[in-house]
Each structure stands twice: as structure tokens, then as C-alpha cells.
Amino acid sequence: MIEELPPNLGEQVAEIAADRSHGASELARRALQIVVTAAREETVEDAGAMRNLLHCLADALIAARPSMAPVYNLMARWREELVQIDEPDLAQIRQQAANSAERIVRQSEQAVAAIGERGAQLVKPGQTIITHSFSSTVLAILEKQRQQQIRVIASESRPLCEGYKLAEQLSAWAIPTTLITDAQLGLFVPEADVALVGADSLLVDGSVVNKAGTYLLALAAQAHDVPFYVCCESFKQRSEDMPPLELETLDPAELGAPGYPYVTVKNIYFEITPAHLITNWIHEQSGT
Amino acid sequence: MIEELPPNLGEQVAEIAADRSHGASELARRALQIVVTAAREETVEDAGAMRNLLHCLADALIAARPSMAPVYNLMARWREELVQIDEPDLAQIRQQAANSAERIVRQSEQAVAAIGERGAQLVKPGQTIITHSFSSTVLAILEKQRQQQIRVIASESRPLCEGYKLAEQLSAWAIPTTLITDAQLGLFVPEADVALVGADSLLVDGSVVNKAGTYLLALAAQAHDVPFYVCCESFKQRSEDMPPLELETLDPAELGAPGYPYVTVKNIYFEITPAHLITNWIHEQSGT
């Protein structure tokens, strides 16, 4: 129903769809912020029109990132609250819908902080952590332990190299970081005490959807008895009623490879790492 | 003893040392070609001086690529023949030393062709082959099977992306090729019938030294019951009397990563894949 949205909202949805630099949680929160602003500022005739607009917007935002459970889950939670707002007054609907979305954003941020606390207990002073791609949840853990003489091994994470952004932040915290190609993950796993990754979503069977390369890191970690932890909020879990998982295939041009007639470039962003390779899932309610 | 070499030879040795675009066999043959030209053309006083020069040159070429067994082995084989040239005449020494090196180059080329024949029997018509990095031996196998409706999955092989060169050649042969990031190797292994890689050298215990990323491909192949073959000539075997294996660390600038104060970029080219992950080693004398 994206075609029913006013152009300014359509553009914001398109930005969420095209965003390659933020993780799933961050994008879910950004999606909620779009909802907050729309609830407060969009010009509509009456309460019913606002209700319709917000439902359309939620549908469009969910459809924008089909692989990302948090976008679905946070939007679904917000929509449940929206349905319960039994209010004929436009100003009241605006305020309650916006407040509800803002509360969910805060809960999401608190969940990341809680994982930072819990995850920090997995990392002992002086240890070396290996990670792949960029995860704000992993970053929260590393921030907690930044004074503990930890060291990080970060892969660049082709094609867009989110690993550089991670390295930049770690360097700003004075955490010694070794930056490697994704191909060197197997070579560096033996130097690590623990592997930490984020997740775009968790499947019902306990397997994890994350950036391509995560599975290779998990295989190498298992081969070297390095514990492999997935760190993500509980609302990244996919439920049975969600649309079927779709691994997003993105623009092959991102690789920057030359073109040849018989060559097809593939750029699948996400892959599934099976549950048996995961030592534990660290979430905001997990035991410590 | 590289300092004793005339400048023109020193430069050629430096080119071998800096070469990132050719595999170990090809570089070993190039090293022998340098020897051939030096034997034929270098100005020296007498037979003894030529002998000394050629020994110095062999030492320098071996030292230029410490990870590469073929350079060591082909040079050592040639030097054994050089020692046996019991000839006081300069012109005769020139000719015999050059002929000997040229014969070894031909044997090396014949070995690659023989592996092409043997390896081709591992690849059935219509099958999909996954490979990592660029191997002229793997290329010889694929060339043999180019009319057999095969399909190839090739990783780019960061940082210098030798996979692009492979894709270009396969495309020229009209072999449908899927080009992926190294991080996607685990994602694409299930589509492959067989994994083929070359080797820089083989260790005494049957493990293989090859481009970083090979180990990850081998782990993923094992996890999906995809046979993993190492294809390389027998003179890539390291013997007990060779200098200890040194995994070459190359220029971190090749990654093109931004610089941050607490971040060290690592660019280790080669890694060891253990023997238990290797289904079989295909060499020029292996049974078919």
C-alpha cells in the first residue's frame, strides 16, 4: 500500500529500504522514528484518516526490509498498541501513537544496553574477541569492556566494508584492533578467546540470520574450540506468523567487479548459521 | 648473496619477490627463465665466474619467495644439474645450464597439463565447481571440461581479487561463472558438486598452503559433503630439508582500508588447510 503514502513518507520508506550502513535494530528504531514524526506532523482530515495512514506506513516499513525481524516485530508491537487506541480525537491519536512508538524505541535501546551488560561478562580482561560485520549490540559489549585490555579482530566485511566503521569506533575507544580481510577469518580465529556476532534475525530453530561470512567464522570457531556467541535482542526472533525468510540479494555493482559476458556477480547479504555452531544466544533477558 | 648480483639480475629477482599476480608454479618457471637468460647473456670472465653467478642467482630467487615450494624445488633440481656440469668451457656451461633450466620448465608445464587430464575426470558434465583464488592448475582442468556444460563459482579473493582474472578467462571460454565475495563462499558451497583449489605448497603431513580463505572453503565443503580436491604438481611438496615454512605477510595497504590510530591492518596471503579436510590431492602422477 506504499502507493497510498504521501510522497515525503514514501521517500523515507525508500531510504529505509536502501540503507546498507545500519543494522536491523537501528533500522527498526529509525522506522519507528518515521512513525513518530508522521503521527505528530502529517496533515490529515480526521482521526480515521490518521489511523489509515499510520497502518499504511507500518505496512510499507515492514515490506521495506523483509529479512529484518526487528523491523517486523517492533512495528507489529506498535501496531498492536495503535489498534487499542480507542480515541476519536485526532490530537489525542497523534499523541498516543507517537508516545507508543517512542516507548518502543526506548525499550529497544534498553535491550541493547542490557545485552552490553550481560555480554560483557563473557569477555574477560585481556582477552581477544573476533567479530564479523558491524553489530551495534557487539559494539555495546566491547564498549563496556574497553578499559579491560581487550583486543579485537575485525573483518572488513565485503562488499561495503562495515568492518571499517567498527574499527574506527574501536580505535576512538583506544581498543587495539586488528583489521583483516574476510578471507583471513580462519587464519585469525586461533588468536581469539571468543567470537561475538550480532544478528539480523533468529529463526525458530535457533539458527541465526546475519551478514554473509558469519557461517564461515562459526565453522572456524568450532574447529578451534573458540566459543561463538550470537548477541541480539529478543525481538530479533522470527515467529511462525512472519512472512517467509527471504535472504536479500543486493546490487552486484557493490562488488566493483569488472563485467564479463558469461559472468554473473552475486551479492547476497545474509546467510543462515545453523544452531549447532552457536555456543549461546545472549539477549536482554539471558542468564548471567 | 643477492648483493653480489649485477643490478639487472637484482631487479628481476625483485620483480619475482613483488609479483602478486602469478601462482607459485608460474613464478617458479619465470625464475627459471631468468636463469636461462642469465646463463646465455650475462657478461662474465670465465666458467668459474658463471658458475658462481648462477648459484648466487638461484639463492636469490629461492629467497625471494620463501613460502613457495615450487620455486625452491625447481631451482634445487636445476642446481643439482648445474653441479654435475663438469665443464671448463664458458660457452658450454652457458649452453648446458640454459638447456637444463629450459627442460625443467617444460617438465613443469607438462605436469600442469597432466593434472588437467587427471583432474578433468573428477568433474562430470553439467557439474558445478567452486574454487577460491586463481590457480593455473585448476584452470587447466576447467579448460579440459569447457565443452561439458560445467558451471563455476569463483570467489573474488581479496585483497587483489585474482578471482576476477579467473572469471575473465572462464568467460572467454564461455563457461558460465558466478563471481562472489569471499564471505559468500559458505553460502554457495551447497550449490557446488566439487571444490577444486590449487596450492602454493604441500606440507609433509599432507596439509596444504594456499591463499587465505582456502581453509574456510574447505570447512564449508566438509560441512556440506562437497569433495574438496587440491590440484597441484608433485614439486609443490615441501621436503624436510627446506627452510621452515613462513606465511608471507604482505603490504597492508593492499586492503585499501582507512588508517586509525589503534588499528593494525593484517594482510597474510597464505594459510594452511589441514589434511583431514582434503578429499584427495590430484598431481601429475595420481591414479585416475
- The pLDDT tens digits of the residues spanning B33-47 come to 999 999 999 999 999
Q: How long a stretch of residues is chain B? A: 288
The angle that helices B24-41 and B7-18 make with each other, rounded to 10 degrees, is: 170
End-to-end CA distance of chain B: 44
> Is A168 close to B258, i.e. CB distance below 8 A?
yes
- The pLDDT tens digits of the residues spanning A222-243 come to 999 999 999 999 999 988 877 7
Q: Measured over all CA atoms, what is the biggest interatomic distance in chain A, rounded to whole angstroms?
A: 63
Computed over every residue of chain B, the mean pLDDT equals: 92
- The pLDDT tens digits of the residues spanning A129-167 come to 999 999 989 999 999 999 999 999 999 999 999 999 999
Place of cell 539480523: A200
> Is B255 close to A157, i.e. CB distance below 8 A?
no
Environment class of residue A84 by beta-carbon count within 10 Å: exposed (0-12), middle (13-18) or buried (19+)?
exposed
**A149 three-class SS:** coil
Residue B3 has pLDDT above 70, yes or no: no
Chain A positions in Cβ-Cβ contact with residue B178 (cut-off 8 Å): 263-266
DSSP state of B67: T
Which residues of A are tagged catalytic? 200
DSSP state of B237: B
Residue B2 has pLDDT above 50, yes or no: no
Contact B142, B150 (CB under 8 A): yes
Residue A248 has pLDDT above 90, yes or no: no
Is A249 or B243 the better-scoring residue by pLDDT?
A249
Contact B273, B210 (CB under 8 A): yes
B39 contacts chain A (CB < 8 A): no
Alpha-carbon distance of B275 to B281, in angstroms, equals: 10
Average pLDDT (B223-231) is 97
pLDDT number for residue A79: 93
Chain B positions in Cβ-Cβ contact with residue A267 (cut-off 8 Å): 181
DSSP state of A249: B
> Is B187 close to A215, i.e. CB distance below 8 A?
yes
Kindly identify which residue of chain A lies nearest to residue B271, measuring between CA atoms.
Answer: A187
Rg value, chain B, Cα = 20
- The pLDDT tens digits of the residues spanning B201-220 come to 899 899 999 999 999 999 99
Average pLDDT (A99-117) is 94
The rounded Cα B86 to chain-centroid distance in angstroms is 32
pLDDT > 70: percent of chain A = 99
Which residues of B are tagged catalytic? 200
- The pLDDT tens digits of the residues spanning B88-144 come to 899 999 999 999 999 999 999 999 999 999 999 999 999 999 999 999 899 999 999
Residue A11 C-alpha cell reads as: 521517500
Place of cell 559494539: A139
Alpha-carbon distance of B20 to B200, in angstroms, equals: 12
Average pLDDT (A261-267) is 96
Q: Which residues contact B93 (CB under 8 A, 6 or more apart)?
A: B39, B47, B50, B51, B85, B87
Alpha-carbon distance of B210 to B217, in angstroms, equals: 11
A175 contacts chain B (CB < 8 A): yes
Residue A23 has pLDDT above 90, yes or no: no
> pTM for the full model?
0.89
Average pLDDT (A13-29) is 89
A161 contacts chain B (CB < 8 A): yes
Residue A281's H or E segment, with its range, is: strand A280-282
pLDDT number for residue B288: 53
Residue A2 has pLDDT above 60, yes or no: no
Top-confidence range, A182-196, A244-258, B53-67? A182-196
pLDDT number for residue A101: 97
Contact A182, B257 (CB under 8 A): no
Average pLDDT (A180-193) is 98
Residue A288 has pLDDT above 70, yes or no: no
- Considering only residues 210 to 249 of chain B, which have any Cβ-Cβ distance to chain A shorter than 8 Å? 211-213, 215-216, 219-220, 223
Cis peptide before A125 (omega within 30 of 0): no
pLDDT number for residue B65: 87
- The pLDDT tens digits of the residues spanning B149-205 come to 999 999 999 999 999 999 999 999 999 999 999 999 999 999 999 999 999 889 989
**Which among A156, A168, A184 has the least Cβ separation from residue B268?**
A184
> Is A263 close to B179, i.e. CB distance below 8 A?
yes
- Of the candidates A146, A153, A160, the residue with the CA atom closest to the CA atom of residue A132: A153
- Of the candidates B160, B162, B159, the residue with the CA atom closest to the CA atom of residue B170: B162
Place of cell 574450540: A225
Residue B10 C-alpha cell reads as: 637484482
Contact A272, A215 (CB under 8 A): yes
**Which among B176, B216, B261 has the least Cβ separation from residue A183?**
B216
pLDDT number for residue A85: 86
Is B68 or B29 the better-scoring residue by pLDDT?
B29
Kindly identify which residue of chain B lies nearest to residue A159, measuring between CA atoms.
Answer: B181
- Of the candidates A201, A193, A123, A186, the residue with the CA atom closest to the CA atom of residue A155: A186
**Which among A172, A181, A267 has the least Cβ separation from residue B255?**
A181
> Is B262 close to A171, i.e. CB distance below 8 A?
yes
Contact B136, B198 (CB under 8 A): yes
B128 contacts chain A (CB < 8 A): no
Is A247 or A201 the better-scoring residue by pLDDT?
A201
Cis peptide before A159 (omega within 30 of 0): yes
Average pLDDT (B259-287) is 94
pLDDT number for residue A1: 40
**Which among B164, B168, B181 has the least Cβ separation from residue A182?**
B181
Computed over every residue of chain A, the mean pLDDT equals: 92
Q: Note whether ipTM > 0.95 here.
A: no
> Is B257 close to A182, i.e. CB distance below 8 A?
no
Least confident of A93-107, B62-76, B180-194, B226-240: B62-76
**Which among B164, B171, B183 has the least Cβ separation from residue A262?**
B171
**Which of A175, A187, A189 is the mutation pick for testing B, counting most B CBs within 10 A?**
A187
Alpha-carbon distance of A95 to A100, in angstroms, equals: 8
Give the Cα-Cα-Cα angle B37, B39, B41 (nearest 5 degrees): 60
Alpha-carbon distance of B71 to B154, in angstroms, equals: 26
pLDDT number for residue B25: 86
Closest Cα in chain B, distance from residue A100 (Å): 39
Alpha-carbon distance of A43 to B128, in angstroms, equals: 57
pLDDT number for residue B249: 84
- Considering only residues 191 to 210 of chain B, which have any Cβ-Cβ distance to chain A shorter than 8 Å? none
> Is A186 close to B212, i.e. CB distance below 8 A?
yes
Place of cell 565443503: B221
Closest Cα in chain B, distance from residue A136 (Å): 19
Closest Cα in chain A, distance from residue B96 (Å): 44
Environment class of residue B257 by beta-carbon count within 10 Å: exposed (0-12), middle (13-18) or buried (19+)?
buried
Kindly identify which residue of chain A lies nearest to residue B267, measuring between CA atoms.
Answer: A180
Q: Which residues contact A3 (CB under 8 A, 6 or more apart)?
A: none
Alpha-carbon distance of B204 to A152, in angstroms, equals: 33
Phi, psi of A151 (to 5 degrees): -135, 145
